[in-house]
Amino acid sequence: MAGRGVGCLSEAMGALRLSAAKVGHTQIYRHQSSEADINSRKQPSTVAKTLTRSMATEASETSITKTASDKSALIQSWNPVSTVPLTIHNFPSFEPTSLEKWSVDHLYLPLRRDILHLAVVFEGDNTRSGTASSKTRWDVHGSHRKIRPQKGTGRARLGSKQNPLLRGGGKTFGPHPRDFGTNLNRKVYDKAWRTALSYRYRRGELIVCEDGMELTMPKGFEKAHKRDLRWGLREAYQARYMKSVLDTLGLGKADGRTLFITGDRREQLYSAMEQVPWEGRALDLEDVDVKDLLETGKVVMERSVLKEMIERHQSDLVANVVVGGLKGSGIPTGQKVF
């Protein structure tokens, strides 16, 4: 996790630097165009360079090996304006079958850790059951008779035996059922969803598969009679097979576990994943939230699930204005290239 944290940070720093450079560039350009100076062509880059901040924690250019810097430079040089490509795979073979274009507003949002944090906290708050309940002195069962005379015993004055100071008495400021739920603006939460998906996409950890994602078991297992796979043989087989699938595809525990998201329960996939919870989990769309998207090493989902997720979470992109009895449908989700 620490590695990922550092990765996030450096990515965010990279984005900051890039945007700072851009701002510098545009500002100066505007300034000079107003001056209408002919020699302004060369100037922007040099001035923009002076504007970039040098971080104290930043590694010097020489220490980064050539390939790494090449790779990050390549990715940073790419600023898609309208769409990003998304490959659809077959499951479980992971054979690429088609290509789609998705809007940058859906799958290429910049990383906003603050928004993600708000969303995860919001979800956590609303998941708390808040059922802890303790008894006050007025709730504790028993008589409220005075347990000893007020005076003359030489001991402390005491009223009823429900006194919080006594054993078996009530709890003074104990927990009582309450709602821990907090609120988050719909548009912020929706943006967090798409930010989480974008983060996964950018890191290459989002794998989208064709609809009807289901684990195909070996023929021998499918054909075997129910009574031949009793006494835990079925479960042991599923566990071993699922592990081999995950290891082959680079989705297992060694690669940080995997979350499979489908439209509904898929018997083979779900029951196999239930045997190996340490290798990952399988959830249907209704059970997934932002935290789940961020937890595991990789996220594998159906195309229709991604589409549904985006459609449910784009309130900040769709104007809530009705024109001619029709509401705007927003940016189309996924256009097929081939």
Partner 1 sequence: MPRIPRVRGLQSLQIASASSKPLPRLPFAASRTLSTTAPVCDLRSKLWKGPAPGPEDPYTQRPEPEEPLSNLPEEAISIPRHPISVAKWRLSLPPKRTEATTEKELAANDPTYTPALTLEELEEIPALDKWWDQPENWGKESEFRGFGKAEKEVERTIIEVQTRRAVVEVLSLQQENKLAEQLVKKWPEGSREALEQALAVEIVGEDGKFSLKGDVSSVVSHLTQHAGSLGEESSPRITLEEAAGIQEKWDPKWKEIALNDETKFAIRKRIYQLTGNMIPDSKLGAARNVRDVLTTLFKQRKPSNLAEELLAKPEVTELPNVRVHSRKVGPIDKEIEIGRWKVIEEELKKRGLPVTGTDNLSGNKEREWMTGKA
Interface with partner 1, residue 7, by CB under 8 A: no
Residue among 232 and 324 whose Cβ is closer to partner 1:
232
The angle formed by the CA atoms of residues 100, 103 and 105, to the nearest 5 degrees, is 150
Rounded-to-integer distance, Cα 112 and Cα 196, Å: 9
Rounded-to-integer distance, Cα 302 and Cα 97, Å: 13
Q: Which DSSP string do the residues of 165-218 spell out, in sequence order?
A: TSTT---SS------------HHHHHHHHHHHHHHHHHTT-EEEE-SS--PPPP
Interface with partner 1, residue 92, by CB under 8 A: yes
Residue among 205 and 279 whose Cβ is closer to partner 1:
205
Nearest residue to 134 via CA among 104, 99, 110, 169: 169
Interface with partner 1, residue 248, by CB under 8 A: yes
Strand-pairing partners, residue 206, are 299
Residue 25 token pair: 């560039």
State the number of binding residues for partner 1 (CB under 8 A).
Answer: 53
Residue among 151 and 226 whose Cβ is closer to partner 1:
226
Q: How many CB atoms lie within 10 A of CB 122?
A: 21
Interface with partner 1, residue 94, by CB under 8 A: yes
Distance of CA 42 to the CA centre of its chain: 43
Minimum distance from residue 329 beta carbon to partner 1 (Å): 25
Residue among 214 and 235 whose Cβ is closer to partner 1:
235
x/- string (CB under 8 A) for partner 1, residues 221-240? x-xx---xx-xxx-xxx--x
Distance of CA 141 to the CA centre of its chain: 47
Interface with partner 1, residue 5, by CB under 8 A: no
x/- string (CB under 8 A) for partner 1, residues 160-199? ----------------------------------------
- Which residues in this chain contact partner 1 in the complex, by CB under 8 A? 63, 65, 67-68, 70-71, 74-75, 77-78, 80, 84-87, 90, 92-99, 108, 201-205, 218-221, 223-224, 228-229, 231-233, 235-237, 240-241, 244-245, 248-250, 337-338
